[in-house]
Amino acid sequence: MSDLSVANNTVTKAFDVEAIRRDFPILAQEINGKPLVYLDNGASAQKPLAVLDAMDRYYREMHSNVHRGAHTLGDRATAAFEGAREIVRHFLNAASTKEVIWTRGTTEAINLVANGLAPRLKAGDEILVSHMEHHANIVPWQMLAERTGAKVVPIQVTPEGELDLDSFNSLLTERTRILAITHVSNVLGTVNPIASLIEQAKKLGVITLIDGAQAVPHFKPDVQALDCDFYVFSAHKLFGPTGIGVLYGRSQLLEEMPPYQGGGEMIERVSFERTTWNVLPYKFEAGTPAIAEAVGLAAAINYMDGLDRKAMEAAENALLVRANELVETVPGMEVIGTAKHKVPVMSFKIAGLHPSDIGTLLDQQGIAIRTGHHCAMPLMDFYGVPGTARASFAFYNTLEEVEKLFTGLQKIQRLFT
């Protein structure tokens, strides 16, 4: 068995990961008598004190409904809520806050777009997705196809877990109306070349939607540079709260799309004869919004903006490099997805072991990973596995925690041999 002493951690020290970890109180606890090693960031990242404090301050000092209050608390809540929208606009480099729609998460954002694009589709049209999509970027399009007679067509992936560009080029045709594709695979960590995909799609007038849920924790997208029509993500992946997400949409398309839900806020005027819609972005925001959660997301983005992004990316890459180095120390371990360009996500299987057993036994050692199909059954079918174990790293993880993961896997492997 090879030595698992911590490798050169110059990058991590320069990034001062220990100081960063103190910003995340949940990381200081023990699980089953062991220090918590949280490696399930791809499912939901932990929250810094800045987020917890911002949401607490909202409830303690300014809670009220937004926009129409004729009192000070209503003004405070509205300023915080719309200020959060501006912070998101800046994060995405959207042209206007009217292009930033609050949703409950990535899933609702995709459903909103799929519903709104229904009038544009007819029988024989095609919706291009990929084999590496999360179910949330497959099922809404299947539902739309059933309504309209359109067809969902999957782009193939390579054995290494990269998008098969030959497959993309052959499937992108005059019948294609929508390209809905993930920026980063939640299973493989693969970073797709979406800028070039969007460029090719636009030449044929194809509408483009990018699922950025797994991308935004690792780098900032620029929707104007990408020239995508829609970009969606969830706050809880971006070190913010659950229950809120963002839909960026090109204003022209949003203006043309019908509302997704009806109710308060999204109306201009209601009578029993006729209802007219509010202006963007409120046209798509029915009901009382997740105000505290928007404030929390803004705090998360501000926190991330306070980090040295290049150092953060280097630290995360060092974690993935070290994990790849240690794979050979676990007999029978195979990594699923070896793309050249990927974020720090490692899906794997170990011969003779069920992924759920791996997860349970690691939890006994205080190590949290994710197991199962990761809401990506078509991808599991492609690799011929029922599921995988997945370790997903964040900038607050350490090289020592990578070592603990592999020490834990070695213990499990010995137990079953």
For 322-361, b/e burial (b = at least 16 CB within 10 A) is bbeebeebbeebebbbbbeebbbbbbbbbeebebebbbeb
Cα distance between residue 210 and residue 184, in whole Å: 9
Q: In angstroms, rounded to a whole number, what is the distance separating the alpha carbons of residues 395 and 365?
A: 22
Q: Where are the extended beta strands (E) located within 239-286?
A: 245-249, 267-270, 275-277
Q: Which residue has the tokens 């005027």?
A: 269
User: Which position among 375, 382, 386, 400 bears the catalytic label?
Assistant: 375
348: which 2 tokens? 């794997």
The SS3 of residue 326 is helix
Asked if 224 contacts 208 with a C-beta cutoff of 8 angstroms, the reply is no
Closest listed residue to residue 346, CA positions, set 374, 320, 325, 371: 320
Amino acid at 183: H
- Cβ atoms of 405 and 398 closer than 8 Å: no
228 is catalytic: no
Torsion-angle region of 16 (φ positive above 0: left; ψ -120 to 50: alpha; else: beta):
left
Question: At 275, phi and psi to the nearest 5?
Answer: -120, 135
Q: State the Cα–Cα distance between residues 96 and 86, nearest whole angstrom.
A: 8
Q: Cβ contacts of residue 127 below 8 Å, gap of 6+?
A: 121, 141, 144, 145, 150, 151, 152, 153, 176, 177, 178, 180
**Alpha helix ranges (H) inside 194-244:** 194-203, 223-226
Beta bridge partners of 342: 190
The edge-to-edge listing of strands for the beta sheet with 151-155 is 100-103, 245-249, 230-234, 207-211, 176-182, 126-130, 151-155
Structure-block tokens of residue 177: 């109306």
Pair 140, 110: CB distance under 8 Å:
yes
Tokens encoding 392? 């997903």
Place of tokens 């306070």: 306
Residues labelled as active-site residues: 375
